[in-house]
């Protein structure tokens, strides 16, 4: 097993708002491959070992600040996506914090009310 995580999903109350938020903070374009679902996917090349995930707006899938915590890739420097969180409508709840030789992390609340985090090596 190459990775402990293979796929993740983040719940949304409003898919369009959540998609706009994550595209803004990560500087990415998400795809919506399922015309009959309110679902957007983060870019990932799963055929080459990248870990994929998405945002889903569906009944019974509720945003939360409790439970498991997803760490998204903060890129080359965590300051870049973390610095865009509040302008995009989120709230930083833990600023960039050193993990020593394991890099840096920062936590935030997204536009949907989910507690999510970024990780990077710098």
The whole-number pLDDT of residue 78 equals 94
Map the chain to HEC letters: CCCCCCEEEEECCCHHHHHHHHHHHHCCCCECCCCCCCEEECCCCHHHCCCEEEEECCCCCCCCCCCCCEEEECCCCCHHHHCCCCCCCCEEEEEEEECHHHCEEEEEECCCCCEEEEEECC
Closest CA to 104 of 95, 113, 92, 112: 95
In the chain, domain spans: 7-120
The pLDDT of residue 3: 80
> What is the structure's pLDDT at 49?
87
Share of the chain above pLDDT 70, in %: 99
pLDDT at residue 1 greater than cutoff 90: no
pTM of the model: 0.94
Question: In the CATH scheme, what is the homologous superfamily, with its name and number, of domain 7-120?
Answer: 2,3-Dihydroxybiphenyl 1,2-Dioxygenase, domain 1 (3.10.180.10)
Q: pLDDT class for 76, splitting at 50, 70, 90?
A: very high
User: Where does the pLDDT of residue 117 fall: very low under 50, low under 70, confident under 90, or very high at 90 and above?
Assistant: very high
């Amino acid at each position: 097993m190459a990775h402990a995580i293979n796929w993740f999903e983040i719940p949304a109350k409003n898919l369009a708002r959540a998609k706009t938020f994550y595209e803004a903070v990560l500087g990415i374009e998400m795809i919506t491959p399922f015309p009959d679902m309110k679902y957007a996917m983060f870019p990932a090349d799963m055929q080459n070992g990248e870990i994929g995930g998405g945002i889903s707006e569906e009944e019974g899938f509720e945003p939360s600040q409790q439970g498991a915590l997803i760490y998204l890739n903060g890129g080359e420097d965590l300051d870049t996506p973390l610095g865009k969180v509040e302008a995009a409508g989120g709230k930083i709840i833990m600023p960039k914090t050193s993990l020593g030789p394991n890099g840096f992390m920062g936590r935030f609340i997204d536009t949907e009310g989910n507690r999510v985090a970024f990780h990077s090596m710098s």
